[in-house]
Amino acid sequence: MAFSTDNESSRLSAFLDDGQAAGRYTFSGAEALAALGVSEIALDNAVRRLRSRGRLVAPRRGFFVIVPTEHRTAGAPPPSWFIDDLMRFLGQPYYVGLLSAAALHGASHQQTMVFQVMTDRPTRPAKAGRARIEFHATRATTGSPVIDLQTETGSMRVSTPEATAFDLVRFSSACGGWSNVGTVLFELAERIDLGALQTLAKVRKSPEVQRLGYLLDQAGHSSIADTLLRALANRRYRPVLLASDAPPGDAAAVTPWRVVPNVPVEIDL
């Protein structure tokens, strides 16, 4: 069946309007082909035309996000509108983590310019309008504690404050360095549940527990840090560098964490 370019675009535009009316802002190429009954070439032509008008954006080949009028200037709605659908399209487990999760929990002192997502394998970044989505691989994607946070279009998986704290320490280089991690932890600590922190500390490696406890102490949250110290009580843990990728320096290990502060940490309280 042949269609003119205008007809293709009009049919796809009507498909987008129907999606928005139903509260849906994403669709796959396969869904559009089935709904419109056109060829892939015809769909590609229609998509190209509507993308040039700012009505569509494609963070991944074959996955499309509808851009409502109020988000045309930004080029796309926020990633929170479509991250759950995108990860389902990719067939990968995920949760929103690191600085993005910390900001959602109220620790927004220095927000990152990217939307940070944890998943189970290396994944190239995605771009939608001005928004950039950055993926970080961790084997703990499916086992890490999360909450389902309601969004404008549904929900998304977000790491709990306790899991976020541990991830900030583990992926410090992606979070602006140790000083920024300490500053974010200062704010995030208000949302940390001590019981949940203690439970999580039992399954985390000792160096991660040591570094997080040290930084919480440095941020003035010694009572929360004490929970981690109790988790270390029955372990034999050795001195660890705060920054394992930096020279050891001459600093002595700080007790009781046995963390060697080989990089300066300046927390903006």
Residue 109: predicted pLDDT: 65
Domains contained in the chain, CATH given? 5-71 (1.10.10), 79-260 (no CATH)
CB atoms within 10 A of CB 140: 17
Which residue positions in the chain have pLDDT lower than 50?
1-3
pLDDT in tens, 161-208: 999 999 999 999 999 999 999 999 999 999 999 999 999 999 999 999
Interacting residues of 165 by C-beta distance below 8 A, sequence separation 6+: 185, 188, 189, 192, 197, 212, 216
Interacting residues of 100 by C-beta distance below 8 A, sequence separation 6+: 112, 114, 115, 116, 117
Residue 3: predicted pLDDT: 43
Please check whether residue 185 is in contact with residue 172, taking contact to mean a CB–CB distance below 8 angstroms.
Answer: no
Which residue's structure tokens are 């981690």?
A: 228
Residue 141: predicted pLDDT: 95
Please check whether residue 81 is in contact with residue 115, taking contact to mean a CB–CB distance below 8 angstroms.
Answer: no
Give the pTM.
0.92
